[in-house]
Amino acid sequence: MSSNPTVHIVDDDPAIRDSLAFLLRARGFQTETHDSATAFIQSADKLKLDCVVTDIRMPKMNGLELVEALKSKGIPCPVIVMTGHGDVALAVEAMKAGVVDFLEKPFSNDAMLAAIRSALDDTKSSRSADKARLEAEEKLSVLTPREREVLAGLVAGKINKVIAHDLKISPRTVDIHRANLMTKTQAKSLSELMRLALSAGF
């Protein structure tokens, strides 16, 4: 991580932009705020981009489209998306497109800081994709066939009720399998579980 990394906050809600900027500056980060993804993308190639934190739901251009725009411009930068509970499917789609993490609202200050530091550290470490895949496959190898089916549903962005209907089991049983997935893989969050699954080729 560079000594003074710059985190860009992209959100159409001024209260969220200001509170995140205050939090990050208090922890030694430099910050720049943007009130829309379109405004950010227009100037992205002229900015110092160490990390981007963006809302997934914004007018005109959402967080997923922001990631795609960065890729089309050939700008490598870790992106973290903030998502409401109903936007998990979109957040998973964003992870498939290259987002490094997503945080479900409401999230704690510590969770945001940990996600940013992890994104910066991972970018710096340049760990190979093959090593990540092997590690992910090893962690998922202990899952039962049913747990893998539930995981596949989560990767597809399905909510518990839909997974339960598809697998002809109760939503409570899906909850139990989800808890087992987290325990067996040692994933601390849903986004970490999604990263493992995607690395392993789910």
Sole residue written with tokens 């139990």: 176
pLDDT at 87: 75
pLDDT for position 104? 86
Q: Which amino acid is at 82?
A: M
3-state DSSP percent of the chain in helix, strand and coil, to 5: 60, 10, 30
- Please name each of the domains of the chain with its CATH number: 6-125 (3.40.50.2300), 129-199 (1.10.10.10)
Report the pLDDT value the prediction gives residue 134, as an integer from 0 to 100: 82
Query: Residue 136 corresponds to which tokens in the numbers above?
Result: 């992910």
For residue 2, what pLDDT is reported?
Answer: 45
Helix H or strand E encompassing 54: strand 51-55
Classify the phi-psi angles of 48: left when phi > 0, otherwise alpha if psi is within -120 to 50, otherwise beta.
beta
Give the model's pLDDT for residue 1: 43
Residue 111's pLDDT is what?
92
Note down pLDDT in tens along the chain; length 202 residues: 446 899 999 999 999 999 999 999 999 999 999 999 999 999 998 888 999 999 998 998 998 899 999 988 888 889 999 988 777 777 788 888 888 888 988 889 999 999 999 888 876 554 455 677 788 888 999 999 999 999 999 998 898 999 999 999 999 999 999 999 999 999 988 888 988 888 888 7
Whole-Å CA distances, 43 to 40, 99, 158: 6, 20, 35
What per-residue confidence (pLDDT) applies to 30?
95
Identify the pLDDT of residue 95: 81
Classify 201 in phi/psi space as left (phi over 0), alpha (psi -120 to 50) or beta: left
